[in-house]
Amino acid sequence: MDIVLYNPLSRNGKNEKFIQKVVQSLEKKGQTVVSYSILAIDDVDSFVSGCNDDDRIIIVGGDGTINHLANRIYKLKFPQQLYMYQAGTGNDFIRSLKTKEKVVLIKPYIESLPNVQFQQKARYFLNGTGAGLDGFIGHLVNHSKYKKNKLNYFRHAFEGFAKFQPIAAEITVDGKTWKEHKVWFVSVMNSAYYGGGMKIAPNASRENDDLHVVVVKDIPKWKLILIFPTIYFGWHIKFKKYIDVIVGKDVRITFDQPTYLQIDGDVEYPVESFSVKNQSEHE
């Protein structure tokens, strides 16, 4: 049996009809299909325990839906295979897997996720977390009157450039600490992509335990605006005067003033510091 889980609030509130099409598509392949809203599942452990071991659990949605569920099931031990049906507006998670399959096995990739801690809270993330300008842009996107898509992100990126001011940060990676006085943003990546296809950490891979810390600093605003489009191709890392990429497993960032923190696109504010560890190294 295929058990389809979906978020009724995704796809700008028009997900129900899409789910019907997904169910029909799976049924045409001879599958017995049932669907559930993830918002209606209070106890994930009990829900999974009620499924047969050979059932396929298929999540329909983008990065936000997968992140939401991953944080609820991370420490659960369940026998069923977990799949993702490609949908949603982000899909940086699937993009990093470099597959064209519509139904993708994702269970191996969410069994060891990095953990970000901030303000006495903790969250697992799929793609990346970061603070400063990228968090501020995420805030603008999440509160936008426009639909979430690549164009909208690009639009609000330029709004962010106009309004955001660089801040000072103390950065620690694997025990080595240094200070930067004019930081635009610091992103800690588990894979290459965020923001709907931006290749912010082109050499990062979820196949290994490394975190890639991308620090954008000391760059005039006009140059940042010119360099920004090159992030989609991963070419920005050639500007080594302004962009550092540090590889490590244990990261802590402390800012001199509160700023915006994004975690797979979800935004927290105000945040003055955050730390990231790869869980495979600490469990």
The residue-averaged pLDDT of 229-255 equals: 96
Q: What is the CATH number of the domain that holds 32?
A: 3.40.50.10330
Q: What is the CATH number of the domain that holds 142?
A: 2.60.200.40
**Confidence class for position 122, pLDDT limits 50, 70, 90:** very high
State whether 125 and 264 are in the same domain: yes
Q: Which domain holds residue 178?
A: 115-281
For residue 254, give the amino acid letter: T
Count CB-CB contacts under 10 A for residue 199: 23
Of the residues 89, 111, 133, which one is the last residue of a structural domain?
A: 111
State whether 68 and 158 are in the same domain: no
Q: What is the dihedral of CA 49, 53, 55, 58, to 10 degrees?
A: 60
Residue 210 in this model has a pLDDT that exceeds 80: yes
The residue-averaged pLDDT of 190-197 equals: 90
Of the residues 111, 133, 165, which one is the last residue of a structural domain?
A: 111
Q: Name every residue whose Cβ is closer than 8 Å to that of residue 124 and which is 6 or more positions away in sequence.
A: 67, 70, 71, 74, 113, 114, 115, 116, 279
Q: Are 268 and 231 in contact (CB under 8 A)?
A: no
**Confidence class for position 257, pLDDT limits 50, 70, 90:** very high
Among 255, 259, 252, 256, smallest CA distance to 274 is for 252
**Confidence class for position 282, pLDDT limits 50, 70, 90:** very low
Show the DSSP H helices in the chain as ranges. Answer: 15-27, 44-49, 63-73, 92-97, 133-142, 150-163, 221-227
How many domains are there within the chain? 2
- pLDDT digit string (tens) for 49-68? 899 999 999 998 888 888 88
State whether 179 and 132 are in the same domain: yes
Q: How far apart are CA 241 and CA 219, in angstroms?
A: 8
Show the DSSP H helices in 110-244 as ranges. Answer: 133-142, 150-163, 221-227
Q: Which one is predicted more confidently, 89 or 263?
A: 263
Q: How far apart are CA 27 and CA 82, in angstroms?
A: 18
Q: Which one is predicted more confidently, 182 or 48?
A: 182
Q: How far apart are CA 202 and CA 186, in angstroms?
A: 15
State whether 93 and 173 are in the same domain: no
Q: Name every residue whose Cβ is closer than 8 Å to that of residue 184 and which is 6 or more positions away in sequence.
A: 132, 133, 164, 166, 216, 217, 219, 224
pTM, full prediction: 0.90
State whether 141 and 258 are in the same domain: yes
State whether 119 and 225 are in the same domain: yes
